[in-house]
Structure 1
Amino acid sequence: MATFTQKFRTTSYPTISSHNPLNSQVGRTVLVTGGSDGIGFAIASAFAKAGASRVIILGRRQEALRVAADKLNAARSRNETVIMTFACDITSLPSIESTWQSIAAAGIAVDVLVLNAGNVKFGLVSEDITAAWTAFEINVLANLRVAKLFFGQIVASSGKKILINISTCSIHSSPAPFQAAYAASKIGFANLVQNLADELSVDKAQIVSIHPGAVLSETVRAKGYDENSLPWDDASLPSDFCVWLSTDSAKFLHGKFVWANWDADELLERKSEIKSSPGMLRIGLQGAGFLDVTTMFDQIKDRVVRN
């Protein structure tokens, strides 16, 4: 268990609660990939509870999306949030492009993107290279395409864009038995997201990757786990944590990797330390000091610009 705060949360609490007025999402459109069930559905539900003007969920199966939308609509205490669904296979570039075109044609600008869809196939790399590469095609390439189209939307957003990458603690677990391809592909995308945050100022985009905790989702059940396998976290934890991460209170975590289990109040108390330590809560090499190559690459950038 990786601990960064004294308190290790397993369920939601006031600071991150979607019912907390300080975490209001009024006026925002939120898009969640893989939002028809599991953690993705819980995240979509939390943003609706926080008053988002529109929540869009993407998934491959139309029937699953219909059921999810019905549940979200039935759970609304107010009618402000519009629930929309799009059948989208993120492994298909034409499908992704068509979805974003449909969103733009409706005059909609997405303000918050939660990248939750992914490949969670376990196994030995040495036994199935094809499956290992598939993990990269989905967890890296597909998600990068969705993110690129998010930042390149035709319809302008009124505020900065928020990108939350649902990742995994496997990216810094060593060893990670039977999870080599999964962990490597997730760390690859988390590193891309981390570097994307370096390219975009926090005033234009707020970007963070998270480990959502141990939630007994449908995907996890399909791997053979049940209620007795682990001391599971409540789905309200990662979903409300995502809502809080999308607020200005969490802008100091731009470009960082955090666990949903870490206490937000303690993170806020360490804000100055986190902001002033460029290597803190970022992907790097264990046991070695932080290497800052900014100056060298600034010189390369200057040469590129001149040419």
Structure 2
Amino acid sequence: MIKHLTKTLHRTAYTAIDPTNPSNSATGKTIVISSGATGIGFAIAHAFVAAGASVVVLLARRAEALDEAAGKLPATEAVFQDVRRRLNEGTLASEDEKDAADVDVLVTSAAYFAPHALSLDFSPDRLRESFDTNVLGNMNLVRAFLRPEMPHMPFQPVIVLDVSSITTYTVVPGVSAYGSSKLAFTRLMAHLQSEVSSSFPKIRVHSFHPGAIYTPAMQKTGFASDFIKWDDESLPAGFAVWLTSPAAAFLRGRFVFAAWDVDEMVAMKERFESEPGLCRIGLDVGL
């Protein structure tokens, strides 16, 4: 059974995380989203545009998907970029040489979801693809995003949003390659936040489970549209925008659910400050 932090759970966007809510404004910000042409990444892009972002850069491997997505959103730039390639530090989008120092928010939503199989049946190629995209690829982007900031203290907060998964800490038969690789990257992000917190306090890393969203990737993996009651894509989209607001700063370095009510979490701020292990992936020894 999944334990939830808040009493109120959501399946779709609501007022507190509405991108058009002035408290969630992204006015003047530049947002970069990996795998931004489809699914959750595209929904997040749409939400940041609604929140007033100046520029939303979509990164994806398929040029045709990028062109289609960019045509549906104003204030966007579509950049063909395979995140598995090593990027030059200081450049998030090598084709247009966009300076990473100009970026305010990086959303790492690129993911490879291998078809269901038993752990022993995953081929080396399937495992490698999972880790190449879900860990190394997304880490390429984070490195390019943050390394230019390291020599000096950023004046404005810079934020990494890790679109993670509930499979990072729950054992789900058949998705070991996906869950293990998502855990590896989310764990990397926890280490990163710990490493930069003292010297670079304006760098924020947030990891979150987006909910059960019926994306094209879910369809390709074999899930039926009536498999479960799916959450609406507006939920992770609005939640991602809210996470970049000042109100969510206390959640840096934590793992949270998009379904959890943000007003209830804000009311728990003192609890988060007094419980370092709250909403962190760790080992429960039952003491």
Contact 1:103–1:109 under 8 Å retained in 2: no
Which residue does 2:251 correspond to in 1? 253
Gaps in structure 2 of 5+ consecutive residues = none
Which residue does 2:111 correspond to in 1? 118
C-alpha deviation, 1:143, in angstroms: 1.1
1:156-202 alpha-carbon deviations (Å, 9 max, x no partner)? 9651110000010011113x101112111111111110111111227
C-alpha deviation, 1:129, in angstroms: 4.0
Q: Tell me which amino acid in the other structure corresponds to 1:93.
A: R
Number of positions where the alignment pairs a residue of Structure 1 with one of Structure 2: 280
Which residue does 2:80 correspond to in 1? 87
In 1, the alpha carbon distance for the partners of 2:87 and 2:8 equals 45
- Out of 150, 153, 160, the position equivalent to 2:148 is 153
Contact 2:100–2:144 under 8 Å retained in 1: no
Q: 1:263 to 1:149 in 2, by over 3 A?
A: same
C-alpha deviation, 1:125, in angstroms: 2.5
Percent of pairs with identical residues:
35
Gaps in structure 1 of 5+ consecutive residues = 74-81, 290-307
Q: Tell me which amino acid in the other structure corresponds to 2:9.
A: F
3-state secondary structure, aligned to 1:278: coil
RMSD: 2.2
1:199-220 alpha-carbon deviations (Å, 9 max, x no partner)? 1227321111010001111111
In 1, the alpha carbon distance for the partners of 2:137 and 2:73 equals 26
Which residue does 2:139 correspond to in 1? 144
Q: Determine whether 1:162 maps to 2:164.
A: no
- Out of 195, 198, 207, the position equivalent to 1:199 is 195
In 2, the alpha carbon distance for the partners of 1:109 and 1:215 equals 31
Q: 1:171 to 1:38 in 2, by over 3 A?
A: same
Give the structure-1-normalised TM-score. Answer: 0.85
In 2, the alpha carbon distance for the partners of 1:275 and 1:107 equals 31
Q: 1:204 to 1:236 in 2, by over 3 A?
A: same
In 1, the alpha carbon distance for the partners of 2:7 and 2:136 equals 36
In 2, the alpha carbon distance for the partners of 1:223 and 1:265 equals 35
3-state secondary structure, aligned to 2:120: coil
Which residue does 1:71 correspond to in 2? 72
Q: 1:98 to 1:268 in 2, by over 3 A?
A: closer
Give the structure-2-normalised TM-score. Answer: 0.91
Farther off after superposition, 192-201 or 255-264: 192-201
In 2, the alpha carbon distance for the partners of 1:254 and 1:165 equals 11
Larger radius of gyration: 1
Q: 1:132 to 1:101 in 2, by over 3 A?
A: closer
Which residue does 1:180 correspond to in 2? 176
Q: 1:94 to 1:104 in 2, by over 3 A?
A: closer
C-alpha deviation, 1:135, in angstroms: 1.3
C-alpha deviation, 1:105, in angstroms: 5.0
Which residue does 2:30 correspond to in 1? 29
In 1, the alpha carbon distance for the partners of 2:236 and 2:142 equals 20
